[in-house]
Amino acid sequence: MILLQSHSRFLLDNLLNRLQNIEKAVEADYHWAEFDDVRYHIQVTMKNPHILLLSVSLPTPPPETVFLGGLPSGAIEAIKAAYGAVVQILDPPRDGFNLTLKLNLTKLPPDEEYKHALLVKIASVREVVLGAPLRGILKKLVSRTVASNTVGLVALVHRPNESFFLIPQADKVTIIFPMRFKDSIDIVLATSFLQEFVEARRTAGLNTAPPCLWSPTLPLELKEAPAEALSANAGFVTFVIFPRHVEGKKLDRTVCSLSTFHAYVSYHVKCSEGFMHTRMRRRVESLIEALDRAKPGMENAKNAAQSRSFKRLSLKEARTNSN
């Protein structure tokens, strides 16, 4: 199975290209959107070619989630910790966006390896911002301290008007995803995929992975959640995260995997659908060829048609033949 990258490939390519051509003073103005309805806007002017403005629009949060100033809780602190003096947060952001960052390319570190790592981190702004509340709770799990404001059910946005839920405890964090899909075929494929996903966790090589469960019915942990947030048509997926899953460098990988879980499932559902369509088309083509070969006299008819010659008749000859 393919894991999605945490960074935006298009954003990273533009950052690298801008850095290589910073002296050319070329304007840039790009808009694009990626999975989960996250939209980006890059703008560079000829007057300040070393200054890049990056605006990000996040998915519309459902009522059960908490956004402060248009951003998830802890997002501002996460941005400052991840980017330091290289990035400045503009307040207010550009119209139509939740966040606008001012990136000064001249403040990037001289070391090439560290510079590239920082650009990858900037291209991962989606994970840094949307994953900030999740990261904060999982950090508390490592130290086994649960803040008073995270006791009980916590709802975090991950798709437009959709959320997933966390139940923090001192020794573990339970994470539950209500899985929703619009297309009826996607619902069937996703349900089958998730059941196999849970079964794969039980293999010998994945003993250290977080426990994973799938249920077609509402888990008891979500009995206090609002009813409109629980309209799942492909069941509920539950992960149980223990301190060993978020120690050291594992924290970044866990936050990324959980933040993009629904997109990860959607990606594999669409790949499965495309693969089946390709197999079906090939099967139909092979059946048509078999039917053509099975028709009696087809080869003789073809040879006869190729051996025939036609002579254009004059009007007088045509009347004679008709009589």
Query: Within a 13 Å sphere around the CA of 104, how many CA atoms are in the beta-carbon half?
Result: 10
- pLDDT confidence tier of residue 315, bands split at 50, 70 and 90: low
Taking alpha carbons only, the member of 27, 291, 35, 64 closest to residue 178 is 64
Q: What is the pLDDT of residues 66-106, one digit of tens each?
A: 888 889 988 999 999 999 888 999 989 999 999 999 999 88
Residue 168 covered by a domain = yes
Sign of CA dihedral 147, 150, 156, 161: negative
Interior angle at CA 206, CA 201 and CA 207, nearest 5? 100
Total domains in the chain come to 1
Residue 115 covered by a domain = yes
Q: What is the pLDDT of residues 228-253, one digit of tens each?
A: 888 888 999 999 999 989 888 889 88
| CA end-to-end distance (rounded Å), the chain | 77
Tell me the CATH number at 47.
3.30.1460.20
| Cross-strand bridge partners of residue 165 | 155, 176
Residue 45 covered by a domain = yes
Residue 105 covered by a domain = yes
Residue 260 covered by a domain = yes
**Pairwise CA distance, residues 320 & 298, whole Å:** 34
- pLDDT confidence tier of residue 1, bands split at 50, 70 and 90: low
Residue 319 covered by a domain = no
Considering the chain, what is the average pLDDT of its residues?
85
Strand spans (E) along the chain: 28-34, 38-44, 51-57, 67-68, 71-72, 87-89, 99-104, 154-159, 162-168, 173-178, 212-215, 236-241
Identify which has the larger pLDDT, 1 or 24: 24
**Pairwise CA distance, residues 278 & 180, whole Å:** 25
Residue 317 covered by a domain = no
Identify which has the larger pLDDT, 311 or 27: 27
Q: What is the pLDDT of residues 129-163, one digit of tens each?
A: 999 999 999 988 887 776 545 457 899 998 888 99
Write out the residue range of the structural domain in which residue 99 sits.
Answer: 9-272
The one-letter amino acid at 153: L
For the record, the structure tokens of 286 come out as 């092979």
Tokens 């923090």 map to which residue? 168
Residue 60 covered by a domain = yes
Q: Which of 79-83, 202-206, 225-229 has the highest mean pLDDT?
A: 79-83
Angstrom CA distances, 47 to 27, 40, 101, 133, stand at 9, 22, 18, 37
